Structure 1
Amino acid sequence: MRFDIYGRFQVEVRRENEEWIVYRAELGKRAKLHDVIIPPDLAAQEIATYLDDVFHEYAGIGQTVEQLAD
């Protein structure tokens, strides 16, 4: 799943070995974000809200984290 973080950058979230792994996605490459930990029992439909909580300091007024079409 890919998410736009307030128009500033994008992350990709993948399910690997029963864990959610977060990558920063940039122009054909990606780097693992070791400091962003998503609880393994969090449902996929709750990830955008969770990322909004994690990255809220980047938000402008009225902005939200948006899931992008794959």
Structure 2
Amino acid sequence: MTARVELPVSERTAQVYRFDVFGRIVAVTKVRDAWQAWFVGEDGKRRHADFVIPAFIEADELAQYLDDLFHESASPDRVAVVRLRAGG
């Protein structure tokens, strides 16, 4: 069972970037000059991701960084990390 993580107000109001990382949904926010990553379950619950995104990575570089980090999870059906639109 995945525990629901209540986000602090600063994280709830931060820009959220969502990605399909080879079939797994990852949400990324920047809080106080540091990236925080979350795995998002099918039920919408989040849990802290077990990887770090360096602070120097720019928002427009997130998809490429995640692709480089998880490229071994690629498959013929999922060949790249895809940024999801809001609510996607």
Q: TM-score, normalised by structure 1?
A: 0.89
Computed over aligned residues only, the root mean square deviation of the Cα atoms, in angstroms, reads 1.2
Tell me which residue corresponds to 1:12: 27
By how many angstroms is 1:5 displaced?
1.0
Secondary structure at the counterpart of residue 52 of structure 2: coil
Structure 1 residue 29 corresponds to structure 2 residue 45: yes
* Structure with the largest fraction of strand: 1
Which runs of structure 2 are paired with 1:1-70 in the superposition (5 Å)?
Answer: 1-6=17-22, 8-26=23-41, 27-33=43-49, 35-61=50-76, 63-70=79-86
The code of the aligned residue for 2:20 comes to D
Q: How many residues align?
A: 68
Greater relative contact order (CA < 8 Å, ≥ 6 in sequence): 1
- The separation in 2 between residues aligned to 1:14 and 1:28, in whole angstroms, is 16
The code of the aligned residue for 2:38 comes to Y
- Aligned identity (percent) is 37
Greater radius of gyration (CA): 2
By how many angstroms is 1:36 displaced?
1.1
Structure 1 residue runs of 4 or more that deviate by more than 3 Å after TM superposition: none
- Please, which runs of 5 or more residues in structure 2 have no aligned partner? 1-16
